[in-house]
Amino acid sequence: MPKKGTIAGQLASDSKKICKAIHQYSKGKISSENMDTLMEIGHGCMVTKNYIYQRYGSIKSLEKLYPGYTIEAEVKEAGFREKIGLPSVYFSAAMDRALGDIRIMWAQVKSGINDAAGKNERFSPQDRHYIRFAVKVSGCFENILNGKPVSVPKEIQPKYEMILAELGDEREQRVRNLNRYICRQARKRLRRQHTENETYFSIKMQGYRYGELDGEHGIFLTTKINRKRMFIPLTDKNVYDRILDIKLNPQKRTIEIIVPLFVNIRQHEDYINEIGISLGLWNMITTSTGNVYGSAFGKMQNEISDYILEEMRRNGKAKTSDTKRYMAYKAKMDAALKNYVNMEINRMLEMEKPEVIYMAKLPRNPGMSMKGTGDTYFLRMWKKGFVTERIQWKCQDNGIRTIEVIGKGIGTDCSVCGQKGYIEGETFQCPVCGYEENKKVNGAKNALNRGKTGKQLNKQFPQEKEEGIIKEHTEK
Ligand SMILES: [Zn+2]
């Protein structure tokens, strides 16, 4: 399988960072000549990756993978780059990505072995302890796989001997058996990586420069021809200074630049609560603990839609004008609302200190477009989607998990006894057990109950995901 999540390689080494990708797009059509040049580079990078997968994806090369200097020297020695004529800013980026992919594969092999050992009932806790140790400690795993004697770092030697002692009198035989098990499991999981993707490659910082040409902002990319850089106009004026991923669309003759941004996850050791929330059009968030955040949410939205409606009335047609004054004022109100949403979500996180937040999945609503219609319902639906997204991002930044639960009937089920109740005004009432509560609080409690009992739709574990999180993120 061709791998796309190449950024993950850098990610695996630092689990407290998440990756948010920013996208940039080429403006207009790229000339066929330039597109050909890019395709050639893409092809070269694919070939490079496959070369690295082929040469360094096996058990034999495992010990060379960390830290990787040996590989760099070997590849240089082999003169492969010169053979395929790829500029080093692309070549070494492709090499890094491929090595990153191989490292990720090994990490998966290791965790697979641990999982299998954990489920294998033949093993005693001491056996599993040995396996975990052997898989994790450098000098163990690669030597076992290569049939070499194990040599662990001095400072870990006592620990190693203790684990061996735990295995009892027949430890030699057991270690042999366990090592054989590790080898078998590793071979079973090892896969030779390969990519057919010629339209996705990376470029190192030294290989590009943002700038202007003929009044257009864009990016200059290194080409095979010495000193000749290709200019590609971009739709935005942002500049970045890191390794970039480039995705080609030869049919449309466009490119997309993917900029990985690594963001530190804030760790809050005191965030240990599980809460449910329900979103509202008037009160933005109600929690299962009975608190409300964003109580001015509905009022602010109404002001915006009133303004749009008023403007439409003044124009005497079902269309808003696009005068500067109108646009500027509308943008100001939108910004104020977004700012308010962010502030209130922050306040919620600080107050509730959640480790996990459960929330109902929003119904998919096609045709949610609200451009110029002034339709308050659609406006509100759209804002609700915006709120969910903001919550998810804020949570990710703070190392909090958000889990969506099944939304059906979440407002009308009784959060105490589970029977169907009814809603009167703002109040939920249960005819079976007599429970009475604010309807939003009841909904939030249902979200919490459903989350805890496993009626979950997705799970987002911001720091635990090995492949990393690559997602659009444009706003701080
Ligand atoms: Zn009830």
Q: For 133-167, how does the pLDDT look when each residue is reduced to its tens digit (9 = 90+)? A: 999 887 789 999 999 888 888 888 888 888 888 88
CA 349 to chain centre: 21
The per-residue pLDDT for range 242-251, each reduced to its tens digit, is: 899 999 999 9
Q: How many residues does the chain have?
A: 476
Give the pLDDT score at 376: 56
Q: What is the CA radius of gyration of the chain?
A: 28
Query: Strand, helix or coil at 256?
Result: strand
The per-residue pLDDT for range 180-215, each reduced to its tens digit, is: 999 999 999 998 899 999 999 999 999 999 999 999
Cα of 436 to ligand 1 centre, how many Å?
8
Give the pLDDT score at 320: 58
Query: SS3 string of 27-73?
Result: CCCCCHHHHHHHHHHHHHHHHHHHHHHHHHCCHHHHHHCCCCHHHHH
Residue 129, both tokens: 């302890």
Element (H, E) at 260: strand 254-264
Give the pLDDT score at 373: 47
Cα of 379 to ligand 1 centre, how many Å?
34
Cα of 358 to ligand 1 centre, how many Å?
21
Cα of 417 to ligand 1 centre, how many Å?
4
Which residues in the chain show pLDDT less than 50?
1-15, 366-374, 460-476
Cα of 282 to ligand 1 centre, how many Å?
26
Give the pLDDT score at 321: 61
Tell me the fold of 273-452.
Nucleotidyltransferase; domain 5 (3.30.420)
Largest CA distance in the chain: 93
Cα of 421 to ligand 1 centre, how many Å?
7
The per-residue pLDDT for range 25-51, each reduced to its tens digit, is: 999 999 999 999 999 999 999 999 999
What is the rounded CA–CA span in Å between residue 216 and residue 232? 9
| pTM exceeds 0.85 for this model | no
Give the pLDDT score at 453: 85
Q: For Cα atoms 435, 436, 437, give the angle at the middle one, nearest 5 degrees.
A: 125
Cα of 411 to ligand 1 centre, how many Å?
13
Cα of 430 to ligand 1 centre, how many Å?
5
Cα of 408 to ligand 1 centre, how many Å?
17
Cα of 200 to ligand 1 centre, how many Å?
55
Give the pLDDT score at 4: 39
Kindly give the pairing relationship between strand 285-287 and strand 273-279: antiparallel
Cα of 298 to ligand 1 centre, how many Å?
29
Q: Where are the domains positioned within the chain?
A: 1-23+31-198, 273-452
